[in-house]
Amino acid sequence: PPEPLQEHFDATIAHDRRIEPRDWMPDGYRKTLIRQIAQHAHSEIIGMQPEGEWITRAPSLRRKAILFAKVQDEAGHGLYLYSAAETLGADRADLTERLIEGRQKYSSIFNYPTLSFADVGVIGWFVDGAAICNQVPLCRSSYGPYARAMVRICKEESFHQRQGYELLMTMMRGTEAQRAMVQDAVDRWWWPSLMMFGPPDDASPNSARSMAWKIKRHSNDELRQRFVDMTVPQAEKLGVTLPDPELRRNEERGHHDFGTPDWEELTRVIKGDGPCNAQRIQRRRSAHEEGAWVREAATAHAAKQAARAAK
């Protein structure tokens, strides 16, 4: 790269200033950002499915309206993120193609089934809670459009998390059967939620580079620890048991010690072999194909408007 441009980029990062779309940036920086932002966008869009399945089966009108709004927010997050990727020169249609052809990833967590309505609460509590831990630091990410998108997304995620916790509080005040449903959902979602933070630091090929570029601000293990520390007192208050016999407060470290997630399971799920991978992609593909007429109509409408404006 021409030296003054690289120097300017390095200085911008060193001074914690933002890189903006028109600034020069190394190819690797651009590629890493497109990879991470696209994966993040795909996660929001695929993430609509597990909870979306419960919209028609929500136990009351109030719960249905809340869930509808939450799933709609996720669509919004996906769209902001695709827009952020477009500022780097990516093409949204191309990113969608890559997702449905299995050439780009999305979060492992959305490949697990939602077996009861308690899962909706636990997703809000754990999955949105994990998303907040991971994304609050991304509000200070070095790439301007990504960092700014995160600000609004985090506000909405925090609302989603409270929604989940409140749902679970209500169920825990209910019948014995309802409490058992909550505990069962906690047992199934705990370990997959810890896996959302990615592989352990010594097996995370992208972390060092992304942290040097200040795209990521903390390592996968640091954020996982933060999530465990945040969640343990919430579990106590709720009255559920987290399914990890090794979980205990370590006064010396000032953190909770916890067991090791099944990393082979994470690898399998990322590679496409989780409980719901095929179903999630199949549904995304058919929604895309069935929406073709909407895209065609919108394009025709835009062309007509442009022609009218040019007259």
Nearest residue to ligand FAQ on Cβ basis: 47
First to last CA, the chain: 45
User: Is 75 in contact with 48 (CB distance < 8 Å)?
Assistant: yes
Q: How many CA atoms lie within 13 A of 5 on its CB side?
A: 8
Q: Is 123 or 179 the residue whose CB approaches ligand FAQ more closely? A: 123
**Of all helices (H) and strands (E), which one includes residue 167?**
helix 144-172
DSSP for residue 123:
I
CB of 285 to ligand FAQ, least distance (A): 19
Site for ligand FAQ contains 277 (CB under 6 A): no
173: left (phi over 0), alpha (psi -120 to 50) or beta: alpha
Kindly write out the interface string for residues 200-239 of this chain, putting x where it contacts ligand FAQ by CB under 6 A and - elsewhere. ----xxxx--x-----x---x-------------------
CB of 205 to ligand FAQ, least distance (A): 5
CB of 248 to ligand FAQ, least distance (A): 25
Query: Of the ranges 43-51, 144-152, 161-169, 277-285, which one interacts with ligand FAQ (CB under 6 A)?
Result: 43-51
Query: Of the ranges 9-17, 36-44, 164-172, 241-249, which one interacts with ligand FAQ (CB under 6 A)?
Result: 36-44
How many Å apart are CA 183 and CA 196, to the nearest integer?
20
CB of 73 to ligand FAQ, least distance (A): 9
> Alpha-carbon dihedral of residues 276, 282, 288, 291, nearest 10 degrees?
-100
| Three-class SS state of 64 | helix
**Of all helices (H) and strands (E), which one includes residue 29?**
helix 27-46
Per CB under 6 A, contacts with ligand FAQ among 114-133 are 123, 127-128, 131
User: How many residues bind ligand FAQ, per CB under 6 A?
Assistant: 29
Site for ligand FAQ contains 261 (CB under 6 A): no
Q: Is 170 or 206 the residue whose CB approaches ligand FAQ more closely? A: 206
Q: Is 179 or 258 the residue whose CB approaches ligand FAQ more closely? A: 258
> Alpha-carbon dihedral of residues 100, 101, 105, 111, nearest 10 degrees?
60
How many Å apart are CA 51 and CA 121, to the nearest integer?
10
| 263-280 exposure pattern, b = at least 16 Cβ within 10 A, e = fewer | eeebeebbeeebebbeeb
How many Å apart are CA 86 and CA 89, to the nearest integer?
5
How many Å apart are CA 207 and CA 198, to the nearest integer?
10
Q: Name which position in 33, 38, 44, 133 contacts ligand FAQ (CB under 6 A).
A: 44
Kindly write out the interface string for residues 73-112 of this chain, putting x where it contacts ligand FAQ by CB under 6 A and - elsewhere. -x------------------------------x-xx----
Query: Of the ranges 87-95, 164-172, 198-206, 228-236, which one interacts with ligand FAQ (CB under 6 A)?
Result: 198-206
Residue ranges that bind ligand FAQ, judged by CB under 6 A? 35-36, 39-40, 43-44, 47, 74, 105, 107-108, 123, 127-128, 131, 134, 195-199, 204-207, 210, 216, 220, 270
